[in-house]
Amino acid sequence: MKQKLIFTNLVGEAVDTLITELGNPQVAVVADTNTAQFVLPIMQKASKAVADATVITIKAGDANKNLDELTALWRHLSEMEATRKTVVVNLGGGVVSDLAGFAAATYKRGIRCINVPTTLLAAVDAAVGGKTGVNFNGLKNQIGAFSEPEAAIISTIFFNTLPEQELLSGYAEMLKHGLLESPQMLAKLLAYSPVYPVFNSEALLPLLKDSVMVKANIVDKDLKESSLRKALNLGHTVGHAIEAFAIKHQSPVAHGYAVAWGLVTELVLSHMVLDFPVETLRSFAEYVHTNYGAFPLTCKDYPELIAAMRQDKKNATPDAINFTLLAAVGEPKIDCTATIEQIEAALDIYRDLMHLD
Ligand code: GLY
C-alpha cells in the first residue's frame, strides 16, 4: 500500500514528522465549518506545520460534497499559489477527505495529501483506501478517483466529544471488518461497545488499529475494486436500501446504523445461501439490537426496499440481486446472488431477530 498508516494519539507530532519527511513543503489545511471551530485550534497548538499552514474551510455536510465546493477548493489552492510540492492536510470526516482528496488528486494533475480523520467512521473507512470524489446529478460519489493519500494519521483523541450515535455509526464498519476477518476479532468487538459512560478512547485505539488493517490489507490487493475489495460491501446492499428508504420517509438514519441492520439481514442471507452458522448470526443480531435498536419494517415495505437494493447494483436481474456474503466469519464470498424470495424471507427473519412484530 502506497499510503502510510500511523496509529497514534500524538497527532500534532505525527503531522510535523510527516511534513518534515516530505521536505517541509507549503501546507494547506482543509477543515469543514465544524472541525475549523473545534479541532483546528487544538491542532494549531499541537503542530507547527498546522499553525503555519494556510487554512481552507469548506461547508460541512454531505450535501456540500459537490462541484461548487470542489471549485472553491481548487480556487483557494490556485490563489495560494499551491505547486506540485504543496501538501494538503485533510482535517475532518469523510466529506473532507473525499472532497479535498479529490481536489488534491486533480489539482495540477495530483498533489500530495494527508488524512487526519476526526470521526470514527472516517478513521475506519473514508480516510483509508484512496476513494475520493463528489456527489453529482443527485447520485453519491459519481465523480471521483482512486487516489491514495501519502498517509493517514489514525487517532482516537477527537472522539471524546462525539455523540454516542456517531461512535456507534463508525463502530458498525468495525463490526463489518471483524466479520470479514476472524472469529477472534469479532469476539473482541462484540465484547466492547462505544457507548457512554463506558467509552474510553484509549481502549478503542488498538481495536481501531486492527480494524483499519483489515481494510488496508484488502485495498493493498485490490485498490480499484475489481474483485476482493467488493468484500467491503458486506452489509451495504441492504444498508444503503435502508438509508434511502429512511430518507424517502423523512426519518433519516445514520449510515452506520443502516449498515448494522444491513449486516444482520445479509448474515441471514449468508445462512440461507452459504450456511453461515446460526449461533453466530443470533449473537451478532442480539448485539445490534442492544446497541442500535431496530429499524422498523413491515412486509408492506419490502417492494420499496428491494427496488432500492436493485438500484444499488449494476448487475441485478429481475429475479435476483448480487451480494457479498459470508460462508463463516473470516470467509467472505463476493458476487453471490440471492433470489427475491430469499431476500423477503431474510427480511422476515431480520424482523424476528430485531423483536419487531
Ligand atoms: N467503503 C468501502 C471501500 O472503501 O471500498
In 3D space, the residue among 349, 333, 353 whose CA is nearest the CA of residue 341 turns out to be: 349
The answer to whether residues 58 and 30 touch, using CB atoms and an 8 Å cutoff, is yes
The answer to whether residues 149 and 114 touch, using CB atoms and an 8 Å cutoff, is yes
pLDDT tops 70 at residue 1: no
Q: What is the mean pLDDT of residues 326-331?
A: 98
Could you give the angle at which helices 94-106 and 67-79 cross, rounded to 10 degrees? 60
pLDDT > 70: percent of the chain: 99
Quick check: CB of 131 below 6 Å from ligand 1?
yes
pLDDT > 90: percent of the chain: 92
Query: What are the residues facing 144 on neighbouring strands?
Result: 133
CA angle, residues 178, 353, 200, in degrees to nearest 5? 40
In 3D space, the residue among 127, 135, 165, 137 whose CA is nearest the CA of residue 252 turns out to be: 165
Distance CA 153, CA 176 (A): 21
Quick check: CB of 194 below 6 Å from ligand 1?
no
Instruction: Average the pLDDT over each of 27-41, 171-185, 305-319, 330-344 and give the range with the smallest value.
Output: 305-319
Query: Judging by DSSP bridges, how do beta strands 320-328 and 139-146 pair with one another?
Result: unpaired
Distance CA 144, CA 100 (A): 11
| pLDDT (0 to 100) of residue 313 | 66
Closest C-alpha to ligand 1, atom 3: 232
Query: What are the residues facing 112 on neighbouring strands?
Result: 87
The model's confidence at residue 324, banded by pLDDT at 50, 70 and 90, is: very high
Pocket probe for ligand 1: among 147, 173, 232, the residue whose CB has the most ligand atoms within 8 Å is 232
Left if phi > 0, otherwise alpha if psi is -120 to 50, otherwise beta: which for 81?
Answer: left
Centre of ligand 1 from the C-alpha of residue 125, in Å: 6
Burial of 113 (0-12, 13-18, 19+ CB in 10 A): buried
pTM for this entry: 0.95
CA angle, residues 87, 89, 90, in degrees to nearest 5? 140
Q: Which atom of ligand 1 is nearest to the CA of 131?
A: 4
- For the chain, the first-to-last Cα distance in angstroms comes to 47
| pLDDT (0 to 100) of residue 357 | 80
* Residue keyed to cell 449494476: 314
C-alpha cell at 295: 429499524
Pocket probe for ligand 1: among 1, 95, 121, 125, the residue whose CB has the most ligand atoms within 8 Å is 125
C-alpha cell at 278: 446460526
Q: pLDDT tens-digit profile of 183-238?
A: 999 999 999 989 888 788 888 999 999 999 999 999 999 999 999 999 999 999 99
Domains of the chain: 4-154 (3.40.50.1970), 166-191+225-353 (1.20.1090.10)
Find all residues with CB under 8 Å of 179, minimum gap 6, and list them: 186, 234, 263, 267, 284, 326, 329, 330
Centre of ligand 1 from the C-alpha of residue 232, in Å: 6
CA distances from 349 to 299, 303, 333 (A): 11, 16, 21
Q: pLDDT tens-digit profile of 92-147?
A: 999 999 999 999 999 999 999 999 999 999 999 999 999 999 999 988 999 999 99
Distance CA 18, CA 12 (A): 10
pLDDT tops 80 at residue 154: yes
pLDDT tops 80 at residue 79: yes
Closest C-alpha to ligand 1, atom 2: 232
Mean pLDDT, all residues of the chain: 96
Centre of ligand 1 from the C-alpha of residue 294, in Å: 25
| pLDDT (0 to 100) of residue 15 | 98
Q: Which atom of ligand 1 is nearest to the CA of 225?
A: 5
Closest C-alpha to ligand 1, atom 1: 125
The answer to whether residues 73 and 30 touch, using CB atoms and an 8 Å cutoff, is yes
* Residue keyed to cell 481536489: 103
Distance CA 233, CA 193 (A): 22
Centre of ligand 1 from the C-alpha of residue 334, in Å: 14
Find all residues with CB under 8 Å of 35, minimum gap 6, and list them: 60, 91, 92, 93, 96, 118
Distance CA 3, CA 216 (A): 9
CA distances from 310 to 49, 123, 155, 252, 344 (A): 47, 29, 37, 20, 13
Quick check: CB of 232 below 6 Å from ligand 1?
yes
